[in-house]
A and B are shown apart, each in its own frame.
Chain A
Amino acid sequence: MIAQVWRWLVDGAHWQGGTGIAQRLLEHLEYSGMSVLIAAIIALPIGAFIGHAGRAKWIIAVANAFRAIPSLGLLFVVAMWFVSRLQGDAAYLVPTIIVLVILAMPPLLAGAYSGVSEVDPAARDAAYGMGMTHRQVLTRVELPCALPLIFSGLRSAALQVIATATIAASISVGGLGRYLIDGLANSDYTEMAGGAVLVAALALVVDGVLAALQRLVVPGGLRTARSARRRRRASAVTQASPTG
């Protein structure tokens, strides 16, 4: 069985062409990357603002409640609404991207919010006391200090999106999920397992890349034991389910 899956994976013919692995991988990365980018552009400023101002915290609570909705249900509801309103590929792509953006937002919001709001009150007090303006406190103190939690939110969002992009194949879009859905339809378990290995590998690689990026970007002073403890405590906040 494992040998079969391995042969399927290394067969050069499976990698080429419009339905080849390379193309599917690219599609998967496109959907996921675009969705996380859009979600980050919307969610990070909102989360940081709520954390800084300490107002409108209900937005975080509402976003967290969204996580209880099964992503499969969300995907189908949005797809059904769009299918009669859009033509061609857009009828599947637009709802997919929308759902992925919606699912990426809660961990990003929570990461930015808790990252900023958990900045040591003494550091914030000192920053104002030294004559920093609100903007300076946010950009020079709060956001750099929030980076570990912003990153953990980003990683959760990326995993959530990669997972959900996989099941989005069930509404006829591309990506690696195709192998799982098509393999199931054709009763071809080898294809399904091969696709599953690819999806799992993609998730692990993306998470690894983001972890490496985090090490590069996060200031060294925030990587000590104490902040690691704080990060762990807050990780439950940003942790997304691998729902997909």
Chain B
Amino acid sequence: MLSFIHGHWSDILSRAIDHAWLAGLPLLLGLAISLPLGWLARRASWLRVILVGGSSLLYTIPSLALFVLMPIVVKTTITDPVNVIIAMTIYTVALLVRTVADALGAVSDETRQAAIAMGYTPIRRFFGVELPLAVPVISAGLRVAAVSNVAIVSVAALLGIRQLGFYLTDGYQLNYWAEVWTGIVACLVLALIFDVLIQAITRVITPWQRAVAS
């Protein structure tokens, strides 16, 4: 395996970057979409049923099927990486809408009431009070989504989309153990990097969490 990695270092790196895009960009898009949707889901229980129920239905669809069905919906070709980006964004939103709604719901009512009493407008209250306090829970959901995304993206190798999953399909066809192991380890390392990165960012933007811990 080490000699395989040594021999293909630059190829591995460039595929890892592709993989990171396919898994990472949907995380950002998914988070951006989930925040307003999660906020909406807290407004009314019927909205919650529609948003959370609908997203969990989408979550039910197996990834390969979703990749394959994308061209029908967005008029791309079957080998277009955009299919993967959109499909992964759907999964991320499906996971995060519920997390965001629960995280906002977990902000203590006293804090919310205090903010209202001090004269925060609803929008400023969301960005200034509720969202920051919800960060730890949302971050936990984001970590689950990140690890899951990295694993799912590799499936797209079956459709010939360029990323780390190529080493799995190619290694299997050539019966080349070192290549398959390289693919698995590279995926795990990438997932780990995402996980550490999200934790680090969370740590930086929630200094009060550290004060509690010490």
Contacts and interface: CB of A to CB of B under 8 A. Distances in A.
* Chain A complexes with chain B: yes
B69 A244 contact: no
Contact of A239 (B66, B95, B181): B95
Interface of A: 1-2, 5, 67-74, 76-77, 79-80, 83, 159, 162-163, 166-167, 170-171, 177, 180-181, 184, 189, 192-193, 195-197, 199-200, 203-204, 207, 232-233, 235-236, 239, 241-244
B72 A236 contact: no
Contacts of B102: 232-233
Contacts of B140: 236
A165 to B, nearest CB: 9
24 contacts: A1-B71, A1-B72, A2-B72, A5-B72, A68-B188, A69-B151, A69-B187, A70-B184, A72-B165, A73-B154, A73-B184, A73-B187, A74-B184, A167-B155, A170-B169, A189-B78, A192-B68, A199-B61, A200-B61, A204-B57, A241-B152, A242-B66, A242-B152, A244-B155
Given A80-B180, A83-B175, A197-B65, 11 more contacts: A1-B71, A68-B150, A70-B152, A72-B168, A166-B64, A167-B64, A193-B72, A200-B62, A200-B66, A232-B98, A239-B95
B60 A203 contact: yes
Nearest to A206: B60
Interface in B182-210: 183-184, 187-188, 191-192
Contacts, number: 151
Interface residues of B, number: 47
Contact of B168 (A73, A159, A233): A73
B150 to A, nearest CB: 8
Interface string B59-98: 1111111101101100000100000000000010001001
Contacts of B181: 77
Contacts of A243: 63, 148, 151-152, 155
A159 B60 contact: yes
A76 B64 contact: no
B4 interface: no
A180 B68 contact: yes
A70 B165 contact: yes
Interface string B166-183: 001101100101001101
Nearest to A158: B60
Contact of A236 (B71, B141, B168, B169): B141
SS of A interface (majority): helix
A232 B61 CA distance: 20
B57 to A, nearest CB: 7
Contact of A241 (B69, B72, B151, B165): B151
B65 A200 contact: yes
A186 B60 CA distance: 28
B15 to A, nearest CB: 13
A69 B141 CA distance: 18
A190 to B, nearest CB: 10
Contacts of A5: 72
Scoring A72, A74, A162 by chain B CB atoms within 10 A of each residue's CB, the highest score goes to A72
B101 to A, nearest CB: 9
A20 to B, nearest CB: 19
Nearest to B149: A241
Contacts of A162: 62
B64 A180 contact: yes
B168 A242 contact: no
B157 interface: yes
Contacts of A170: 158, 169, 172
Nearest to A79: B172
Given A67-B151, A193-B68, A243-B151, A72 B63 contact: no
B109 to A, nearest CB: 14
Scoring A79, A171, A192 by chain B CB atoms within 10 A of each residue's CB, the highest score goes to A192
